[in-house]
A and B are shown apart, each in its own frame.
Chain A
Amino acid sequence: MLMEISIDNEKCKVPMGCRQCVRVCPQCVFQLHLKRFERFLEMPLEDWELRVYFPDMCSGCMECVKICPLHAIKVRPAKVQKGEVASAT
C-alpha cells in the first residue's frame, strides 16, 4: 500500500540541526536538500529542507513519527480513488 508522508516545514525549520528521522528510517525514505542554491557559497543550516524522496519505499513502521521531537511528520495510507491503481509494487 502506498503511504502518504507529510512533513510540516513550518514546524521543522532546521532539519539539518536535528536529523533524527533521516538517521532512524530503515527504508531511507527522506532526503535533505538545499532549497536555495548559490554557486561558490557555503549554505547555512537553515537552507536545508527535509523532503520525501522515495515515497513508494515507505513501509509505514512509524519510527520517524515516534522520534520526531517537533511532531512535524505524519504518515497515513494514501487515498485511492475507485478504479485507480495506487502502486506498481
Chain B
Amino acid sequence: MCHFCTQHADGGKWFEAAQNYAAKMYQFKKKAAKAKEAEYIEKKKAELQKMREKGALIEEGEGWYMDDRGEFYVKPGAALDLDIMVTDLVQEVIEAKALNLDELPMLKKKAKSFMDKYHTGQVVTYEEAQQMLEITWPIGLMECICRRERRGMYNDPMAHTCFSLGVGLYKWERWPETFRGITFLSVEEAKERLAYFNKKGCVHTLWTFYTPYIGGLCNCEYPTCLGIRGRVDYGIDGILYKGEYVIVPIPDRCTGCAECVKFCQFGAMSMSRSRNKVTVNMQKCFGCGQCLVHCPNTAFKLLEREKALGVRDHW
C-alpha cells in the first residue's frame, strides 16, 4: 500500500480501483477549468500576486510556479505539455548533477513534486497489468516517446510498446505526434500483446496524467526509459514508484543459469559465483517480476512489500 493507495482507493491497490480510470476524472478537470475560467483565474492571479510580493514564490516560469515549501503548481488556465515539462525538469537535474551540486536537492524536489502531482509512474507486475487492461476502455497501442527520442525508433513497429488507456484516447486525431501510429485493440488482443512484451522482458509501468487519472500502460526498459533512468541513475523519486511486491530468491531451487540477471532492468540481481546461486539486492528491487517470469525453475517468490518490513517504506 503506497501513499497513492491510501489517497485514491478504498482499501485496495489504487490502480485496481475503477474510479481512477473514470471519464469523470478526465472530464472534471476540463469542465472545472472552463467553468471557473474567468473568476477562478482572476482570484488565483490575485493570490499569486500576493505571494509574489511576500516573496513566497521561489521560482516562476511560463505556466507554472513553485512556492516556498518546494511544491510545484501549474498556473490556472495554463496549457502545459506534460512530456516537454518532464524532459526539461529532468534535464535541469542532470545539469546540476554535473556542474552545480548545491542546487541539486532543490531541483530534485521540484521534479518530484511535479511528477507526483501530474505525471507519475509505478511498476506493476504482469498479473496486475492484465487486470488493468480488463478495467479500462478503449485501449490503443502507440509508439513509445522515449524510444523515439533516445533510440531514434521513429515509425518503427518495434517501438509500438505503449498502451494508451481511457477517454484521453478519443482525441488521438488531434495529436499526431503524441499518438503516433495508433491501433485500437480489443481486450484479448491487448492481452496478447502484453504477453508478448512480458516474454520479451519489458517492465510494465503505469502512468498518470494529472494524478490519479491513469492513462497509460507502458513496457519499459533501461536505459531508454526516462522514468527508469531518472529514478535509478539520478535519484528523482517521484518519477517512477516501486511496485507492490519485492522478489525473494529460493536458493534451493536455483541452478545458477543467470537468466534472471539478464532480464533485470534495475541492476538488482547478481550471481554469487562461489555458491552458484543468485543474490538479490532488495533495496534496488522494483518488484516487476521479470526474473520470476524467465526463471526455468521458479526459484523466486513475490512477497508483498507490506510484509517485508525492511523495505516497506521504499516506494
> Which A positions have Cβ atoms within 8 angstroms of B?
2, 16, 19, 22-23, 27-28, 30-34, 37, 40-43, 53-57, 85-89
Contacts and interface: CB of A to CB of B under 8 A. Distances in A.
Contacts of A31: 87, 149-150
A22 B150 contact: yes
Interface stretch (B48-56, B93-101, B243-251, B273-281): B93-101
B94 A88 contact: no
8 contacts: A2-B98, A31-B150, A41-B177, A53-B94, A55-B94, A57-B223, A88-B97, A88-B104
Contacts of A16: 152, 154
Contacts of B97: 56, 88-89
Contacts of A27: 223
B224 interface: yes
B102 to A, nearest CB: 11
Interface of B: 81, 84, 87, 91, 94, 97-98, 101, 104, 148-152, 154, 174-177, 223-224, 229, 233
A18 B115 CA distance: 33
B98 A40 contact: no
B152 A23 contact: yes
A32 B98 contact: no
Contacts of A32: 148-150, 152, 154
Contact of B94 (A19, A28, A54, A86): A54
A25 to B, nearest CB: 9
Contacts of B81: 37
A43 B175 CA distance: 11
Contacts of B101: 85, 88
A33 B149 CA distance: 6
Contacts of B91: 53
A19 B154 contact: yes
Contacts of B94: 53-56
Contacts of B176: 40-42
Given A22-B151, A32-B152, A89-B97, 16 more contacts: A19-B152, A28-B150, A28-B223, A28-B229, A31-B150, A32-B149, A32-B154, A37-B84, A42-B176, A42-B177, A53-B150, A54-B233, A55-B94, A56-B97, A86-B98, A88-B98
